Amino acid sequence: MEDFYYRNLKVYAQAKQLVADVYAFSRAFPIQEQYGLTNQIQRAAISVPSNIAEGMGRFSPRERIHFIEIAYGSMMETMCQLEIAEMLGYISPEALAEQDDKIRQLARMLLGLKHSIEEKQSINQVRQQERM
């Protein structure tokens, strides 16, 4: 197994793109938001690929799933903050709609990764029981 194989995951690449998109949007936020919404949305977005990487670096399937779930929660937090940014007039409704589509796709990919890990865990448990 490659040491950093999470880099090959499409979900990881898409999560990094979310970070790039959020940083591009937040550059235009008002200066008074620097320590408020700007900081919060950037931290939430960065948490998504970071938790994917950390989770895939764990040996326990249960821990991997835990970090995938944290990434999912951070992604939802990012979406909420994008909605707030649109409500405040910091991003356009069209930009929000585009990010909504991207985040929905990322959500499906994260859930798929979680289900894949759960399935492998179930198969391994069955194999272990068969050996007994």
Local confidence band at 2 (pLDDT 50, 70, 90 cut-offs) = low
Mean pLDDT in residue range 96-110: 98
3-state secondary structure of 34: coil
Q: What is the pLDDT of residues 5-18, one digit of tens each?
A: 899 999 999 999 99
CATH number of 5-131: 1.20.1440.60
Q: What is the pLDDT of residues 42-82, one digit of tens each?
A: 999 999 999 999 999 999 999 999 999 999 999 999 999 99
Q: Is the pLDDT of residue 3 over 80?
A: no
The answer for residues whose C-beta is within 8 angstroms of residue 15's C-beta and 6 or more apart is: 48, 49, 52, 71, 75, 106
Q: What is the pLDDT of residue 129?
A: 73
Local confidence band at 131 (pLDDT 50, 70, 90 cut-offs) = confident
Residue 71, CA atoms < 13 Å, CB-side half-sphere = 31
Amino acid occupying residue 80: C
Q: Is the pLDDT of residue 86 over 80?
A: yes
3-state secondary structure of 36: coil
Local confidence band at 104 (pLDDT 50, 70, 90 cut-offs) = very high
Listed as own residue / partner, the contacts of 90-99 with beta carbons closer than 8 Å and 24 or more positions apart are: 90/25, 90/28, 90/29, 90/30, 90/33, 90/37, 91/25, 91/28, 95/25, 99/18, 99/21
Q: Is the pLDDT of residue 35 over 60?
A: yes
Which string of b and e fits 31-58 if b means at least 16 CB within 10 Å? eebeeebbebbbebbbbbbbbbbbbbee
Cβ proximity of 106 and 13 under 8 Å? no
Average pLDDT of the chain, as a whole number: 93
